[in-house]
Chain A
Amino acid sequence: MEMLLMGACLSMFGLAVTCLAFGAATRPEHSTAAAAPAAELKKEMVKAAAPARFFVQQPIVPIAAHARVPLEALLLQLESHVRLEQAAVESFLQTPTSALLHSRTVSPLVN
Chain B
Amino acid sequence: MVKPMLKADLLNGLNEEDAGRVMALAKRTILTSGAELFHLGDSAESIYLIARGRLRLTLPMQVRDREENVLVEERVPGQTVGWSALIPPFRFTLTATAPLETEVFALSRDALHAHFAANPLAGYAVSMNLASVIGERLQLFQTMWVREVQRMVEARCA
Contacts and interface: CB of A to CB of B under 8 A. Distances in A.
Interface of A: 52, 54, 59-60, 71, 74-75, 78-79, 82-83, 85-86, 88-90, 92-93, 101-102, 110
Interface of B: 61, 63-64, 66, 68, 70-73, 139-140, 143-144, 146-147, 149-153, 155-156
A85 B139 contact: no
Given A59-B155, A90-B140, A101-B146, 14 more contacts: A52-B156, A59-B152, A71-B66, A75-B70, A78-B63, A79-B71, A82-B70, A86-B140, A89-B143, A92-B143, A93-B143, A101-B143, A101-B147, A110-B151
B149 to A, nearest CB: 7
A82 B147 CA distance: 12
B79 to A, nearest CB: 14
A89 B147 contact: yes
A79 B153 CA distance: 23
